[in-house]
Amino acid sequence: MSGVFAPAPGRAPMRSVVASQIRMELTLTARRGEAVVLAMGVPLLVLLGAGLTEVTNVPGDDRLAFVVPGVLALTVMSTAFTGQAITTGYERSYGVLKRLGASPLTRPGLLFAKTAAVLGLIVVQLIALAAVGLAVGWRPHFEAVLPALGVTVLATAAYSGLALLMASLLRPEATTGAATLIYVLMLAAGGIMFAAPDLGTFGWFVLPLAAHAEALRETLSYGGSVPTAIWLSLGAWALVLVTAAAKKFRWE
Partner 1 sequence: MTDAVEVRDVVVRYGDTTAVDGVSLTVPRGRVLSLLGHNGAGKTSLLQVCEGFRRADGGTARVLGLDPVGDHDALMPRLGIMLQSGGVYPWATAGEILRLFASFAAAPLDVEMLLDRLGLRKFERTRWRRLSGGEQQRLSLAVALVGRPELVFLDEPTAGMDTEARHTTWRLIEELRADGVSVLLTTHLLDEAERLADEVVIMRSGVVAATGTPAELTAAAGIDLLEVRADPGLVPDSRLADLKVTETTPGEYAIAGALDAAVISDVLGWFAAKDAQVTAVNTRRRTLEDVYLALTTGEKTKVSR
Coil, strand, or helix at residue 167?
A: helix
The answer to whether 105 and 91 are in contact (CB under 8 A) is no
Q: Does 39 contact partner 1 by CB under 8 A?
A: no
Q: What's the CA gap between 215 and 207, in Å, rounded?
A: 13
Q: Does 197 contact partner 1 by CB under 8 A?
A: no
Q: What's the CA gap between 140 and 252, in Å, rounded?
A: 45
The smaller minimum CB distance to partner 1, of residues 169 and 240, is found at 169
The smaller minimum CB distance to partner 1, of residues 1 and 135, is found at 1
Q: What's the CA gap between 152 and 218, in Å, rounded?
A: 13
**Which residue of 36, 48, 56, 101 would you call a contact of partner 1, by CB under 8 A?**
101
Report in angstroms how near the CB of residue 234 gets to partner 1 at its nearest.
Answer: 30
The smaller minimum CB distance to partner 1, of residues 222 and 251, is found at 251
Q: Does 106 contact partner 1 by CB under 8 A?
A: yes
Decide: residue 251, CB within 10 A, 0-12 exposed, 13-18 middle, 19+ buried. middle
The smaller minimum CB distance to partner 1, of residues 16 and 201, is found at 16
Q: Does 142 contact partner 1 by CB under 8 A?
A: no
- Applying CB under 8 A, which part among 23-31, 51-59, 169-177, 237-245 lies near partner 1? 23-31
The smaller minimum CB distance to partner 1, of residues 97 and 144, is found at 97
Residues in the interface with partner 1 (CB under 8 A) total 36
Q: What is the 3-state secondary structure (H, E, C) of 69-131?
A: HHHHHHHHHHHHHHHHHHHHHHHHHCCHHHHHHCCCCCHHHHHHHHHHHHHHHHHHHHHHHHH
Q: What's the CA gap between 118 and 160, in Å, rounded?
A: 8
Q: Does 251 contact partner 1 by CB under 8 A?
A: yes
The footprint of partner 1 (CB under 8 A) covers 1-12, 16-17, 20-21, 24, 27-28, 31-32, 91, 94-96, 98-99, 101-107, 251-252
